[in-house]
A and B are shown apart, each in its own frame.
Chain A
Amino acid sequence: MGTLLETVRLRKYYPIKGGVFKRKVSDVKAVDEVSVNIAKGECFGLVGESGCGKTTYGKTIIRLLKPTSGHIYFDVPSDAREKIAELEKSSHGSRKLKKIRKQYDLTMFGGRKLKPLRKRMQIVYQDPSKSLDPRQLVKNIVEEPLKVQGLGKGAERRERVLEILGKVGLTERSLYRYPHEFSGGQRQRIAIARALAPNPEFVVLDEPTSAVDVSVRAQLLNLFQELRKDMGLTYLFISHDLSVVECISDRVAVMYVGKLVELAPTIEIFKKPLHPYSIALMSSIPIPDPTAKRNRIILKGDVPSPVNPPPGCRFNPRCHMAIDLCRKEEPELKEVSKGHFVACHLVKG
């Protein structure tokens, strides 16, 4: 399977302004050098604690936010990507590089060029009661992306709305109702319908199940699986609920203060996490079995601020295995076994 989306050393910094002239004082390093490739038809899980930059990453790759630096390639042939990497190595800022990046790299795209891409990549937000306009009918909510993209007309558009509502399990009766008339689970279905209306290839699911109940959560997860099969979708599944990610994803990346610390196939990362942070994270999942044995690693302290993360490895102040090297040098994300990447000095491949 080919790569659908790739990010290379993607950064998103938010400037902090201060002083008399409101000059930039420092940065909030929300996403720092994240390189990931997501294969076509894959469900890629992204986990981490709140404030680690998961959502910022999700929003940046579909260009709802402008990245600070790095590359985003969406459905770009591999030879073009290689060529950019090659040109970048040889001479910085050459005209040729700029030209080819303007053609392929999403970070260089502007509004008009992004518009046709918008229908190919969509997002479902965390809380449907906030992401849906309370003053619009469901019909208009789901129709809006079609209208903006100029897809279909009149009856045709209406049919498409009905079709997509049917796909997410809502009936014709819900067309002329407002979001507040639905339960939480159904509202999330409306949000999903809206995202899927223009027939996208890639959907960012930003904690889509954290605002709903346990039983509804299972319904939604089933729906995601079905839709993925039906429509050939690719997901970026952002969540802090590890048990959900474990069930739905093919590969999982663990993020900590803007950086990836581990990336591996789901089964491998849950069975044998290598990075000390992943180990602690996995061990803190509550096990729904009162007789199960637990050896839990309880992390001390809080997540550090992304404004001035600790020097060296960002996890070192909370890590129970930290050595001197960890405080000085930042570890690189390296492949330890096939498809298993870890950024830790202590893990040797």
Chain B
Amino acid sequence: MSNLVEIQGLVLRFYTYEGVVKALEGVKLNLIDGETLGVVGETGCGKTMTALSILDLIPPPGKIESGQIFFKGKEKTIDLLEQKEAFLRGIRGKDISMIFQEPGSALNPVYTVEEQISEVFMLHRREELTVAAIEAIERDAESARGGLRSFIYGIQRRIYRKMLKNPRSLSLRFLSRIPVVNRYKRRLRKEAKKESINILRQMEIPDPERVADMYPHELSGGMQQRVVIAMALACNPTLLIADEPTTSLDVTVQAQILDLIKKLKETFKSSIIYITHDLGVVAETCDRVAVMYAGNVVEVADVIEIFKNPLHPYTKGLIESIPRPGKDFKSIKGTVPSLINPPPGCRFNPRCPKAMEKCSNVKPETIEVKKKHFVSCHLY
């Protein structure tokens, strides 16, 4: 069991007009190969920002100040933060992909479902598509008996073989600019469409051929989320980041999607980072849980351990604030502090029921209290 992702000392700042937002302050997190890691916390705790840092997709005023993100790639372990943009573009969607919160806004309204999924194939799996296209040309050429047709197929075959050898060759780029002639690319698209319909079928979408030609607005929320998941899983990623994939869905649809993600995890053998604020969902899907508060990871433990024996006062508060019938609602007083001027010391100290003097001065270190149970609090 080795780490697939290891985040160390990640510091993220947003430089805004009001001041410097200290969004992440030394985040340390690891994801073991093949597990599902739940990341929980309130809004504005830096859950999504941690995920976006892995993909290096931090929106403009934000800047990663320091830290390392190690990712175990196919050949060797790399630090994602040191890579060039072009390299990262090859990784995004192929090795690491993401499911976004609102399927309605994650999909482009002016393209059909199939066009959007095909894009992933066209970008990352061109080679396989080309091979499939050559096979299709050969099949067509056999059935054509001489004449103009077999002449055209012959040319197509030559173009595609060249594409397989060197997809960025000058003559190919030249050909793709000439109208009518550039229609040779249609075969590639056709193969991509076949693949897209295939992946839609795996998402348990009824009648995938029909759905493929629909626009996102024609689909219900649950269906849209399936399409987004299909896009994410199109290239069989080793790491899947799911950012609140079921928050905007109904409970019955949520149950469907959770069930689907569980099944797909087994077939695709991906590791998942599951970001959510619903502890019920965490209990059902995750192997390990990391609790985040105001840009820090405050507790990491196994899912059973965290529900049975939560150590950090914030984790305790979160678990207690789940409504349970017959009991009073317990809540954490106050709200998440502004990250422009976060409280000194432990960032949770103004809301903490067990705060000591030390808490408002010294930032607690992360310690391993029990085996595989990390907590950063002065109480331990």
Question: Which residues of A does B touch, CB under 8 Å?
Answer: 49-50, 183-186, 213-219, 221-222, 225, 240, 242-244, 246-248, 266-267, 270, 280-281, 283-292, 294, 296, 298-299, 301-303
Contact partner of B254 among A222, A244, A284, CB < 8 A?
Answer: A284
Residues of A within 8 A of B331 (CB): 215-219, 222
- CA–CA, A59 and B204, complex, Å: 37
Residues of B within 8 A of A222 (CB): 328-329, 331
Q: Give the distance to chain B from A237, nearest Cβ to Cβ, in Å.
A: 12
Residues of A within 8 A of B322 (CB): 214, 243, 288
For residue A224, which residue of chain B has the nearest CB? B329
| B328, A288: Cβ atoms closer than 8 Å | no
Residues of B within 8 A of A280 (CB): 252
The number of residues on chain B lying at the interface, defined by a beta carbon within 8 Å of a beta carbon of chain A, is 43
- CA–CA, A248 and B329, complex, Å: 10
Residues of A within 8 A of B281 (CB): 286
Q: Does B69 sit at the interface, judged by CB under 8 A?
A: no
Q: A213-B277, A247-B324, A288-B322 are in contact. Are A221 and B329 (CB under 8 A)?
A: yes
| B323, A298: Cβ atoms closer than 8 Å | no
- Which of A184, A243, A286 neighbours the largest number of chain B CB atoms within 10 Å of its CB? A286
Residues of A within 8 A of B335 (CB): 183, 185-186, 216
27 examples of A-B residue contacts, CB within 8 angstroms: A49-B250, A49-B253, A50-B250, A186-B335, A213-B277, A214-B321, A215-B331, A217-B321, A217-B323, A218-B330, A218-B331, A222-B328, A222-B331, A246-B325, A247-B324, A247-B325, A266-B325, A267-B325, A284-B255, A285-B280, A286-B283, A288-B280, A289-B307, A291-B304, A292-B283, A296-B259, A299-B256
Contact partner of B279 among A218, A288, A302, CB < 8 A?
Answer: A288
- CA–CA, A328 and B255, complex, Å: 29
Q: A213-B42, A247-B323, A302-B223 are in contact. Are A240 and B206 (CB under 8 A)?
A: no
Contact partner of A287 among B283, B304, B329, CB < 8 A?
Answer: B283
Q: Give the distance to chain B from A338, nearest Cβ to Cβ, in Å.
A: 21
Q: Give the distance to chain B from A235, nearest Cβ to Cβ, in Å.
A: 15
- CA–CA, A242 and B254, complex, Å: 13
Q: Does B29 sit at the interface, judged by CB under 8 A?
A: no
Contact partner of A240 among B251, B256, B280, B282, CB < 8 A?
Answer: B251
| B280, A246: Cβ atoms closer than 8 Å | no
Contact partner of B256 among A216, A267, A287, A298, CB < 8 A?
Answer: A298
- CA–CA, A246 and B331, complex, Å: 17
How does the 8 Å CB contact mask read for B196-210 relative to A, with 1 for contact and 0 for none?
A: 000000000010000
CB-CB contacts below 8 Å: B255-275 with A? 255-256, 258-259
- CA–CA, A214 and B220, complex, Å: 26
Contact partner of A218 among B221, B253, B282, B321, CB < 8 A?
Answer: B321
| A242, B251: Cβ atoms closer than 8 Å | yes
- CA–CA, A283 and B221, complex, Å: 20
Question: Which residues of B does A touch, CB under 8 Å?
Answer: 42-43, 206, 220-223, 250-256, 258-259, 277-284, 303-304, 307, 317-319, 321-325, 327-333, 335
- CA–CA, A266 and B326, complex, Å: 11
- CA–CA, A186 and B336, complex, Å: 12
For residue B317, which residue of chain A has the nearest CB? A215
Q: A286-B280, A286-B281, A291-B304 are in contact. Are A218 and B329 (CB under 8 A)?
A: yes
For residue B332, which residue of chain A has the nearest CB? A215
Residues of B within 8 A of A301 (CB): 206
| A298, B255: Cβ atoms closer than 8 Å | yes
Q: Give the distance to chain B from A151, nearest Cβ to Cβ, in Å.
A: 32
For residue B338, which residue of chain A has the nearest CB? A183
Q: A286-B278, A288-B280, A298-B259 are in contact. Are A214 and B254 (CB under 8 A)?
A: no
| A218, B323: Cβ atoms closer than 8 Å | yes
For residue B42, which residue of chain A has the nearest CB? A213
| B323, A243: Cβ atoms closer than 8 Å | yes
| A281, B323: Cβ atoms closer than 8 Å | no
For residue B289, which residue of chain A has the nearest CB? A290
- CA–CA, A225 and B327, complex, Å: 12
Q: A213-B42, A214-B277, A302-B220 are in contact. Are A247 and B284 (CB under 8 A)?
A: no
- CA–CA, A329 and B230, complex, Å: 39
Q: Give the distance to chain A from B171, nearest Cβ to Cβ, in Å.
A: 49
| B323, A244: Cβ atoms closer than 8 Å | yes
Q: Give the distance to chain A from B281, nearest Cβ to Cβ, in Å.
A: 5
| B325, A294: Cβ atoms closer than 8 Å | no
- CA–CA, A284 and B280, complex, Å: 11
For residue A186, which residue of chain B has the nearest CB? B335
| A284, B42: Cβ atoms closer than 8 Å | no
| B250, A270: Cβ atoms closer than 8 Å | no
Residues of B within 8 A of A218 (CB): 321, 323, 329-332
- CA–CA, A247 and B324, complex, Å: 6
Residues of A within 8 A of B43 (CB): 184, 213
Residues of B within 8 A of A183 (CB): 335
- CA–CA, A29 and B283, complex, Å: 38
3 nearest A-B pairs in the assembled complex, by CB-CB distance = A286-B280, A218-B331, A284-B255
- CA–CA, A296 and B255, complex, Å: 8
- Which of B318, B322, B327 neighbours the largest number of chain A CB atoms within 10 Å of its CB? B322
Q: Give the distance to chain B from A214, nearest Cβ to Cβ, in Å.
A: 5
- CA–CA, A240 and B327, complex, Å: 20
For residue B256, which residue of chain A has the nearest CB? A298
Contact partner of B283 among A214, A221, A290, CB < 8 A?
Answer: A290
- Which of A242, A285, A302 neighbours the largest number of chain B CB atoms within 10 Å of its CB? A302
| B252, A221: Cβ atoms closer than 8 Å | no
Residues of B within 8 A of A244 (CB): 323
Q: A216-B331, A246-B325 are in contact. Are A290 and B254 (CB under 8 A)?
A: no
Residues of A within 8 A of B278 (CB): 214, 286
| A240, B250: Cβ atoms closer than 8 Å | yes
Q: A185-B335, A286-B281, A290-B304 are in contact. Are A214 and B42 (CB under 8 A)?
A: yes
- CA–CA, A248 and B324, complex, Å: 10
Q: Give the distance to chain B from A110, nearest Cβ to Cβ, in Å.
A: 37
